[in-house]
Amino acid sequence: MAEIVAFLGMGGTIAGTAQSADDNVGYTAAQLGVQNLLQSVPGLTRILGARQALAEQVCQIDSKDLMHADWAALLGRLKHNLARPDVRAVVITHGTDTLEETAYFLSRALAPELLAHKPVVLTCAMRPASSLNPDGPGNLADAATLAVWPGARGVLVVCGGKIHGAAQVQKVHPYRVDAFDSGEAGPLGLVEEGRVRLLADFPRADHGQAAVDVEALQAKGWPRVEILLSHAGAGGGLLRALLREPEGEAPLRGIVVAGTGNGTIHREMDAGLLLAQARGVRVVRVSRCAYGQVVGDAPEAVAFSKYALSAVKARIALMLDIASEA
Ligand code: ASP
């Protein structure tokens, strides 16, 4: 039985096209199918060896517009493919804008045993497929290399020759092809000329972590968690508007506050957050700093729990926490 590497297409710039080959910004994302993308990868057959490529289009979207339902669809196809004994690995082509959120979501939502011996590799591009000098084919070649690399496991991201872990990876540049960074942790490794050079171990499956029942979440509705940013001149108006809950909006269940420095919150916001918390809204604070995480307990924020994650990932963590408690 030949092994399979499944390539799941989600859209993004990697599948984008522009009117002109010298236009790297005025393009439309998510135009080409994943099968089409595979045809542009130099040496894919050599990289895969005896393994077969299986292409599946899950979504075709600009990832800035990603919805929770798209995650549900992706998770369903991942569970199906990873459970197949003949599937060695899954590669996902995805837009860069919310790639770190999808990577983190998958690392939390997939059953640990599905990731214990198989990698899920997300890749992307900063330039459209129609570019004079596209980065997608090279990134996809690197993703395929990593997918079949001995010992590869867990949710991984490959872009610009660097391998990142799902918890650390962050898009840090709106234009550069090397657009991702893992902060203080650094990349897990590099893909160089068709070889993986590991700088840290592949992520270990957390066997204490329960898989998320996304079908139930979809049916029930994902808990609404919003993100606020504390800044100079911040007031309580936005928070008061959030708590008013307009007609037709799901009830607010959680707030992630990206605080200044060590997760501190403007005093004008603080009172509103305490009120929200008193009404049963879960409040979590993180730091808006690019590096590090909230350390110790700042006295003014003792009542709010803290996560060692970026605000967008903390939102996912809080949603999943609330869903698991409901
Ligand atoms: N807006 C695009 C997306 O996230 C950007 C990209 O893929 O680079 O789908």
Give the domain ranges of the chain: 4-198, 223-325
Q: Which residues are paired to 121 by β-bridges?
A: 91, 156
The answer to whether residue 148 scores a pLDDT higher than 60 is: yes
More confident residue, 306 or 35: 35
Which residues are near ligand 1 (CB < 6 Å)? Answer: 12-13, 29, 62-64, 95-97, 124, 126
pLDDT band at 211 (very low <50, low <70, confident <90, very high): confident
* 303 φ/ψ angles, rounded to the nearest 5 degrees: -75, -15
13, 93, 123, 264: the active-site residue: 13
Q: Write down the pLDDT at residue 247.
A: 75
Phi and psi dihedrals of 5, rounded to 5? -110, 120
Closest atom of ligand 1 to 126 CA is: 8
Q: Looking at the predicted structure, is the pLDDT value of residue 301 above 60?
A: no
For residue 302, pLDDT beyond 60? no
**Spacing, Cα 186 to ligand 1 middle (Å):** 23
Q: Choose which residue among 97, 126, 140, 157 to substitute to test ligand 1 binding: the one with the highest number of ligand atoms within 8 A of its C-beta.
A: 97
Q: How many CB atoms lie within 10 A of CB 39?
A: 11
Give me the amino acid identity at 214: V
Q: What CATH number does the domain located at 223-325 have?
A: 3.40.50.40
What was the pLDDT predicted at 205? 80
| Ligand 1 centre distance from Cα of residue 139 (Å) | 14
Furthest-apart CA atoms within the chain: distance in Å: 64
Closest residue by Cα to residue 220 from 72, 115, 64, 6:
72
For residue 124, which atom of ligand 1 is closest to its CA? 7
CATH no. for 4-198: 3.40.50.1170
What mean pLDDT is reported for the chain? Answer: 94
What pLDDT does residue 298 have? 59
| Residue 172 tokens, joined | 């840090």
Determine the pLDDT at residue 325: 86
**259, containing H or E segment:** strand 252-259
SS3 of residue 183 by DSSP: helix
| 102-115 pLDDT tens trace | 999 999 999 999 99
How confident is the model over 15-42, as a mean pLDDT?
A: 96
Ligand 1: which residue has its CA nearest to atom 7? 95
Question: What integer pLDDT is reported at residue 299 of this predicted model?
Answer: 55
CA angle 283, 289, 294 (to 5 degrees): 50
The atom number, within ligand 1, closest to the CA of 13 reads 7
CA torsion 239-243-249-254 (nearest 10°) is 80
The SS3 of residue 2 is coil
- Which is the closest atom of ligand 1 to the Cα of 14? 7
Residues 6+ apart with CB under 8 A from 195: 145
* Residue to mutate (ligand 1; options 24, 96, 102, 126; most atoms within 8 A of CB): 96
> Among residues of the chain, what percentage have pLDDT more than 70?
98
Which residues face 191 on adjacent strands? 196
- Using pLDDT thresholds of 50, 70 and 90, give the confidence band for residue 296: confident
Residue-wise pLDDT tens digits, 60-73: 999 999 999 999 99
Listed range (44-53, 136-145, 150-159, 296-305) with the worst mean pLDDT: 296-305
Could you tell me the distance, in angstroms and rounded to a whole number, from the CA of residue 210 to the centre of ligand 1?
Answer: 30
> Whose CA is closest to atom 3 on ligand 1?
95
Strands (E), 115-251: 119-123, 154-159, 162-165, 170-171, 180-181, 189-192, 195-198, 224-229
Give the Å distance between the CA of 38 and the centre of ligand 1: 18
For ligand 1, the distance from its centroid to the CA atom of residue 128, given in whole angstroms, is 9
Sequence-distant (≥ 6) Cβ neighbours of residue 80 within 8 angstroms: none
Ligand 1 mean position, distance from CA 85 (Å): 32
Known catalytic residue: 45? no
Q: Which atom of ligand 1 is closest in space to residue 62's alpha carbon?
A: 9
pTM: 0.96
Q: What residue type is 183 in one-letter code?
A: G
